[in-house]
Structure 1
Amino acid sequence: MSLRVAVRCGLALLGVLIGACDGGGADDASVSDDARAAADTGAVDTGVEPADAGETGPAHCLGADLFIEAFEPGTSVTLFNPTAAPIDSSDGYVFCQQPIYPSVASLEADVVIGPNERHVFPWPSGFTRNLDGGEIALYRRGAFLDPESQLDFICWGTGHSPSRKNVAEMDGDWIGDCAGPITGASMRRLPDTEGGGADDYDVTGVAEPLACP
């Protein structure tokens, strides 16, 4: 082999080795422009549009846990799940109307309430059936003097004694007087309200069921 041929072969071999080390060169058609851009910026296209940070919904849909949507004293109480995840209502939830503290599971066990869904439970035994006055509270756990544990509180008419209204007032779960006496079959939370006072409830029972987008 002549010296010229040997040099040419050596240069060709060197070019192959350099190409292998730099990934095949900038003209490699197997790598798309989008992939190169992602590599340059560190971005990854997942194909999922980001959520609108300013997106909101009706006030009743902004809660982070179960709340009381409606109740018919002596018959039933309805819990609503405004969140995007299912909630196991048997996981420590407790109703309160002093001096009675029934767990939700004792009314009906193993109930998982799906997102934007409700479940109707039997009215707790021993709770008042009085349409002219009463209260009902829902707790995340049995810490009845802790406002962080109290998820919801509703009172109507003349209220109830002894009361947990003072606990509800500690962090604004209830403000002002109780709602009026129940004049219909049930008492319902009104759509697009926070459930924090008399004006947020319909004592005639004709309000529409709640829904979240």
Structure 2
Amino acid sequence: MDDDEHLLWQRVLAGDDDAFAAVFDLHASRVHRQARRLVEARADAEDVTAMVFFEAWRRRRSVRIVNGSVIGWLLVTTTNVARNRERSRIRYEGLLRKVRVETVPDHADEVLDSFMRPAVRGRVREAFDGLSTRDQEILALCVLEELAPADVARLLHVPAGTVRMRLSRAKSRLRAALGEDHGRSTLAGLGGTS
């Protein structure tokens, strides 16, 4: 077996991908077991195994063959890769602990609450519920979800002009249901009055 592996590695040195695949098949399970002993997660062990064989290919001219096999080099490299990975993880976690994340409060909810106090919210809900299903759909898609009329047209399988016309009528009906002055300010806050 040792002579066969030595010959196989000679083919690897010549750039033979199939020979390298044969070396991988021969030693991948042992490398993975070694990696599994050194790292916590199975996924990390798989990453370490991949990195070891990448290094073996990249540094194939400097891989040491001991007793006709590269397994010793692969196992030592596995240990080094796993330790480097662990050191990087510890360094990264240390940096994260040092970083003070300053949270900036999101004032959107406060603005929305002050804009649409419960009584106003109830009037808007009542006016919206009084609209036809088609008007509700157009307002929800174009105003609340902020989709472009052309995109809504494609979703509803109607011309874009039809969506714009329905949107204008739906906004007018909502304004009328809310009362003209209140309806304008409400629709302005929801995305315009046209």
Q: TM-score range by the shorter chain?
A: under 0.3
If each structure's helix is expressed as a fraction of its own residues, which one has the higher value? Answer: 2
If each structure's strand is expressed as a fraction of its own residues, which one has the higher value? Answer: 1
TM-score (ref. length: structure 1): 0.24
TM-score (ref. length: structure 2): 0.25
Decide which structure has the larger Cα Rg and report it: 2
